[in-house]
C-alpha cells in the first residue's frame, strides 16, 4: 500500500486546509454510491466535513476489500490507518507529533490518495464538529472483520456487522449537523443498515466472486439454498426465495428508517430523503428483476435521480 512514513508534520493553515478538503471532496465524488455523498443538497458548511468522513471510510474500506494482498497485509494497513487517525488528532490537541504521510496510499488499488491531506481535513472536522472518535474506530473494526469473516451464520450477526460498518456514518452525519437525539440515532441506524443490506443484495455476484456471502447461512438453509449454487452464475428458485426473505426484512428497516428524514430540518432533510429514495429504488429494482444480479446488476442512472428528486419534493411526513 505504501503507507511509508515521510516524516511530515501536519500544518493547519487555512490555504492548506482548504486544499485538504478539496482532496476529500474529489474522492467523495469519484465513487459510485446508491445515495448522494456531500452533494449540493447539503448546506454548504456541511459538505467539506461529510466529504472528509466519507474519504476516511471509503479509503479504509478499499484497503480491506480491494487489491490482491493477503489478509495479514490488509490488516496491517488498517492498523496503520488507525494510527494515522490517532496521530492526526494528537496534532490538533497541540502535541508536537510527526504524522506519517503518503501521497499515494495504495498504488496497487489503482488510486492515489493524499493521506496527509485526508487526515488533516478529518482531524479538523472531528475537532470543529466535536465528533466521537469511537464511531471511527467502530468503522475500522468492521473493516478488519471484512478481512477475516466471509460468511454470517444468522441475521443478528449480520446486523451486528452493519451496526459498525454503516450505522456510524449516519450518526456522524447527524453530529456534523448538530443533532444528538437518541431517537434520531435509532432511526438513522435503521436507514443505514437498510442501505448496507441493499448493497449486499445488489453485489451478491461480485461478493461471491471474491469469496464473500452476506446472506446468512440460516436463511439459506431455511429456503433450501446453498452458497455453492451461486457458482453456476444464475439464481436457483431456492435462492430467489432466500433473497425475497432478506429483502423483506430490509424493506422493514427502510420503513423504520424513514423517520430520520422527517426528524431533521432544512437541506439535510432533502439529502436524507434522496438517500432513502435511492436505496429503496435499488431494492425495488432488485425485486422486480427477481434478484438476478447475474443477468443485470441494477444501478442508479440520471433518470432514477430525477425520479428520486421528484419524490423528495412530493415527500409527505410520517
CB distance 82 to 137 below 8 Å: yes
Chain centroid to CA 201: 15
CATH number of 150-318: 1.10.600.10
For residue 203, which of 301, 67, 298 has the smallest C-alpha distance?
298
Residue intervals of the chain classified under CATH 1.10.600.10 are 1-148, 150-318
Low-confidence ranges of the chain (pLDDT < 50): 1-11, 34, 93-111
* Predicted pLDDT at 251: 98
Query: What are the tens digits of pLDDT across the range 163-185?
Result: 999 999 999 999 999 999 999 99
β partners of residue 99: 8
Nearest 5 degrees, angle CA 300-CA 303-CA 305? 60
CATH superfamily, domain at 1-148: Farnesyl Diphosphate Synthase (1.10.600.10)
* Predicted pLDDT at 107: 46
Amino acid at each position: 500500500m505504501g503507507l511509508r512514513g515521510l516524516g511530515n508534520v501536519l500544518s493547519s493553515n487555512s490555504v492548506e486546509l482548504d486544499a485538504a478538503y478539496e482532496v476529500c471532496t474529489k474522492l467523495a465524488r469519484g465513487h459510485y454510491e446508491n445515495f448522494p455523498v456531500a452533494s449540493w443538497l447539503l448546506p454548504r458548511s456541511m459538505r467539506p466535513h461529510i466529504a472528509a468522513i466519507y474519504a476516511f471510510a471509503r479509503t479504509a474500506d478499499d484497503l480491506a476489500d480491494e487489491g490482491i494482498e493477503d489478509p495479514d497485509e490488509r490488516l496491517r494497513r488498517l492498523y496503520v490507518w488507525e494510527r494515522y487517525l490517532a496521530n492526526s488528532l494528537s496534532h490538533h490537541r497541540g502535541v508536537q507529533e510527526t504524522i506519517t504521510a503518503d501521497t499515494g496510499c495504495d498504488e496497487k488499488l489503482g488510486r492515489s490518495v493524499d493521506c496527509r491531506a485526508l487526515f488533516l481535513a478529518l482531524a479538523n472536522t472531528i475537532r470543529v464538529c466535536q465528533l466521537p472518535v469511537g464511531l471511527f474506530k467502530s468503522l475500522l473494526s468492521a473493516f478488519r472483520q471484512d478481512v477475516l469473516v466471509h460468511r454470517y451464520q444468522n441475521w443478528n450477526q449480520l446486523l451486528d456487522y452493519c451496526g459498525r460498518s454503516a450505522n456510524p456514518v449516519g450518526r456522524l452525519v447527524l453530529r456534523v449537523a448538530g443533532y444528538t437525539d437518541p431517537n434520531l440515532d435509532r432511526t438513522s441506524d435503521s436507514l443505514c443498515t437498510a442501505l448496507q443490506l441493499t448493497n449486499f443484495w445488489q453485489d451478491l455476484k461480485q461478493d461471491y466472486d471474491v469469496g464473500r456471502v452476506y446472506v446468512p447461512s440460516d436463511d439459506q438453509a431455511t429456503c433450501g439454498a446453498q452458497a455453492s449454487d451461486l457458482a453456476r452464475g444464475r439464481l436457483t428458485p431456492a435462492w430467489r426465495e432466500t433473497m425475497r426473505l432478506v429483502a423483506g426484512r430490509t424493506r422493514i428497516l427502510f420503513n423504520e428508517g424513514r423517520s430520520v428524514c422527517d426528524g431533521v430540518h432544512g437541506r439535510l432533510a432533502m439529502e436524507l430523503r434522496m438517500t432513502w429514495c435511492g436505496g429503496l429504488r435499488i431494492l425495488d429494482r432488485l425485486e422486480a428483476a427477481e434478484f438476478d444480479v447475474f443477468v443485470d446488476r441494477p444501478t442508479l442512472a440520471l433518470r432514477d435521480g430525477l425520479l428520486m428528486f421528484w419524490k423528495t419534493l412530493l415527500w409527505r411526513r410520517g
